[in-house]
Amino acid sequence: MTHQIAVIPGDGIGQEVTPAAVDVLAALDPDFEFVEGEAGDAVKAETGEALPQATRDLAADADATLFGAAGETAADVILPLREVVGSFANVRPARSYPGLDAVQPDTDLVFIRENTEGVYSGIESEITDGVTTLTRVITEDASRDIAEFGFDYAAENGYDDVTIAHKANVMRTTDGEFLAAAEAVGDARDADYDTALMDALAMHLVMRPEEYGVVICPNLAGDMLSDLAAGLVGGLGLLPSANVGRENALFEPVHGSAPDIAGEGVANPTAMILSAAMLLDHLGHSDEAARVRAAVEDVLDAGPRTPDLGGDATTEDVTEAVVDAL
Ligand code: NAI
Ligand code: MG
C-alpha cells in the first residue's frame, strides 16, 4: 500500500535536514509518495500566513508528516500542525550513543509529553499595563490519555522504569488532577511506577539518568526536561520526536531552525533522520526503522560528524554516510 508522506521543511536548518531524511527514506525504497508543503517565516513574509491552508490540508490528508523546523513563527506553525494531526502525545527519546562524548553515556530516556494543554493552552492576557496572566488547563481526560500512552509505550518498548513528573505540591489543583489521573492509570494496570517533583527530577536526571526510563510529563515540563536530556547525550542535533494522534502523526526533530548555523550546510541531520525512523515504525516498517537506527549508530560511532559533535563534516557528508551504511 502506498503511503503519502507530507514533507514540510520550514525555515533555517529545516531546509537542510529535511531533504537528508527524505534521502534516507528514499534509499530504503518503501512505498512512499512524498508531497511537499510550505510553512514558517519565509512563507509568512511572502503570503502573510505562516501555515497556509494548503499545507494544513496536506498534513491532514497524508498518512504521516515530516516537519523540519520553523523560526519565529514556530508557535503559529507547529501548534496548529499538531492539532491538524490530532496529536495528543509527544514522544521524545533521548539516548546516548557509543563513541560520542556524552555528559552522561548511560542515558536511555523517553519523555512522553502531554501535547495539547497545560501552560501551552494559549490562554494569555494582559489585564492591565504591566500585569499579565496565563491560564493553565489540565483535564482528567488528557492526563489519563497521556498516562495510558506512556504506560503502553513502556511496556511495548521494554522500559521497566516509569516516572510521572508533576509539581502537585504547588500547583495543587492542576497538577493534582494530572497526578491523580496518571496514578489511576498505573494502579489500574498494577504497573510499577514512581512519581517525582519535576524540579528535583531535573537534578536527578542530570546526576543519575540511568535510573530512569519513560517519563510521563505535563506539556511544559516535557518540553524542558527533554531539552535538558539533549544536553546529557550530545545536543539537540540528536533528538527526534513524534507527535502521535489516534489516526495520524507528525515527526520532527526537537530542535528549531538554528539561525546561528543555518545556510552553512553543517547542521546535524541525525535528529531528523531518527524522526524519519520513528515515522517508519509508525507506518509499520519496523525492519526499515531498525536499519536506519543501526546505520545512524554506525555513523555516529565511526564518523563523519558535524561540528556540533566535534567533527568538520557537512550535513551532506553525514547523510551520504548513513545512506551508504544502509
Ligand atoms: P534551536 O534548536 O534552533 O537551536 C539551539 C542551539 O542548538 C543552537 O546553537 C543551534 O545551532 C543548535 N542546534 C540545533 N539543532 C542543531 C542541529 N541539527 N545541528 C547542529 N546544531 C544544532 O533553538 P533556538 O535557538 O532556541 O531557536 C531558534 C529558532 O527556532 C527560534 O526562532 C525558535 O522560535 C525556533 N524553534 C522552532 C521549533 C520548531 O519549529 N519546532 C522548536 C524550537 C525553536
Ligand atoms: Mg522545545
Question: Which of 41, 44, 63, 120 is the catalytic position?
Answer: 120
**Does residue 236 line the site of ligand 1, with CB under 6 A?**
yes
Nearest CA to ligand 1 atom 38: 256
**Does residue 39 line the site of ligand 1, with CB under 6 A?**
no
**Does residue 256 line the site of ligand 1, with CB under 6 A?**
yes
pLDDT, position 30:
80
Q: How far apart are CA 39 and CA 53, in angstroms?
A: 10
Torsion sign over Cα 150, 65, 9, 271:
positive
**Does residue 308 line the site of ligand 1, with CB under 6 A?**
yes
Question: How far away, in angstroms, is 240 Cα from ligand 1 center?
Answer: 13
State pTM to two decimals.
Answer: 0.94
Query: Is-contact 236 271, C-beta < 8 A?
Result: yes
Question: How far away, in angstroms, is 145 Cα from ligand 2 center?
Answer: 21
Residues 6+ away with beta carbon under 8 Å from 227: 236, 254
SS3 content of the chain, % helix, strand, coil (to 5): 45, 20, 35
pLDDT, position 27:
94
pLDDT, position 122:
87
pLDDT in 10s for each residue of the chain, 326 residues: 799 999 999 999 999 999 999 999 999 978 899 999 999 999 999 999 999 999 999 999 999 999 999 999 999 999 999 999 999 999 999 999 988 989 999 999 999 999 999 999 889 999 999 999 999 999 999 999 999 999 999 999 999 999 999 999 999 999 999 999 999 999 999 999 999 999 999 999 999 999 999 999 999 999 999 999 999 999 999 999 999 999 899 999 999 999 999 999 999 999 999 999 999 999 999 999 999 999 999 999 999 999 999 999 999 999 999 999 99
Residue type, 183: E
Q: How far apart are CA 23 and CA 315, in angstroms?
A: 12
Nearest CA to ligand 1 atom 25: 258
Q: Is 129 a catalytic residue?
A: no
**Does residue 259 line the site of ligand 1, with CB under 6 A?**
yes
Torsion of CA 39, 40, 43, 48, to 10 degrees: 110
Q: How far apart are CA 96 and CA 232, in angstroms?
A: 8
Half-sphere exposure of 185 (CA within 13 A, CB side): 25
Q: How many helices (H) and strands (E) does the chain have?
A: 11, 12
The b-or-e profile of 127-153 (16+ CB within 10 A means b, else e) is eeeeeeeeebebeeebbbbbbbbbbeb
Torsion sign over Cα 255, 158, 210, 292:
negative
Of ligand 1's listed atoms, the one at least distance from the Cα of 73 is 34
Nearest CA to ligand 1 atom 31: 71
Nearest CA to ligand 1 atom 23: 256
Question: Which of 76, 152, 161, 227 is the catalytic position?
Answer: 227
The preferred substitution site among 73, 113, 236, 309 for testing ligand 1, maximizing ligand atoms within 8 Å of CB, is 236
Q: How far apart are CA 322 and CA 299, in angstroms?
A: 6
**Does residue 242 line the site of ligand 1, with CB under 6 A?**
no
The residues that bridge with 196 in the sheet, in sequence order, are 165
Question: Which of 159, 167, 212, 317 is the catalytic position?
Answer: 167
Question: Which of 223, 281, 308, 317 is the catalytic position?
Answer: 223
